Amino acid sequence: MLPKFYIFSSVKEEQDTFTNNLKNETQKLIKNSPGSYGIYFADFNKPHTFGINHKEIFTGASVNKVQIISVLYYLDNKNKIDLDEKITLQKDDIQDYGTGTLRYQKPGGIYSLKTLAKLAIKQSDNTAAHILGDKIGIPLIQKTIEEWGLTQTDMENNKTSAYDMYILFRKIYKGEITSVAKTQELFGFMIDTDIEDRLPALLPDSVNIYHKTGDAVGGMHDVGIIQKDGTVFFLGVLTSDIGNNETKTKENIAKMAKTILDQYGKKE
């Protein structure tokens, strides 16, 4: 089940008791943890938001693949790119590191842009993202996301903030990137991904999580939308300087998602 689409009304950011409680519980989780955290939470139906270093800039790692794929779908919607266009895998395309399956394929394979987009998000495939980045052009991706309001994201140097990722996910969610059908398709790439050890880790199967992880040197991230029944919210967590504490950092991100969702249950 993919997210329901809601009509947004303009609301003033409200720091009520519920929101403050969410922030306090989140701060407790990371109080004694190594490294730096950039966190942003926003309810998509109610004026509940909070940030902790949410405009601090981090190395984006693979979370910036969402920017690439979002611009791809945006250009397709403008009839400037065709998602069904086929690309032949070249030897120079192969990024022989990190995640994904294309690095193990022989040159000559043929893939549609849509298939590459799916691989880039669901598997976090570096080769697929590299091909799409080259196809669109990093300058055009940068120009487009800046027009969308992502003022802290630098695609060339792979930098972003938790708040910029919120802006992007909210834009996708509102259907401002592409058509409703292709928005659903795009969200489909973000559920049940190959890496489910952070935001989704402690949540029951009844909860839908549309997200993208990222691993940088000294940092682990996860950003996305969490939906259970009528509750829909964004939670983005970027980290840096965590040392050898990868497991603890993953646990912290998982606990944040569960703690916030549990608070909604108490409120109801």
CA 241 to CA 136: how far, in whole Å? 32
2: pLDDT confidence band, cut at 50, 70 and 90? Answer: low
265: pLDDT confidence band, cut at 50, 70 and 90? Answer: confident
Hey, what domains does the chain have and what are their CATH numbers?
Answer: 17-267 (3.40.710.10)
Round the average pLDDT of the chain to a whole number and report it. 94
Confidence (pLDDT) at 168: 98
Contacts of 149 (CB under 8 A, 6+ apart): 167
CA 204 to CA 104: how far, in whole Å? 34
Q: H or E stretch including 136? A: helix 126-136
What are the angstrom distances between the C-alpha of 99 and each of 102, 194, 240? Answer: 9, 9, 20
Q: How many residues does the chain have?
A: 268
CA 150 to CA 178: how far, in whole Å? 18
Q: Which amino acid is at 190?
A: M
Q: Quick one: average pLDDT of 2-22?
A: 61
| 176-193 per-position pLDDT tens digit | 999 999 999 999 999 999
Q: In 3D, which of 58, 219, 70, 39 has the Cα closest to residue 153?
A: 58
20: pLDDT confidence band, cut at 50, 70 and 90? Answer: very high
Q: In 3D, which of 263, 251, 258 has the Cα closest to residue 32?
A: 251
Q: In 3D, which of 180, 86, 74, 91 has the Cα closest to residue 127?
A: 91
Q: Quick one: average pLDDT of 141-154?
A: 98
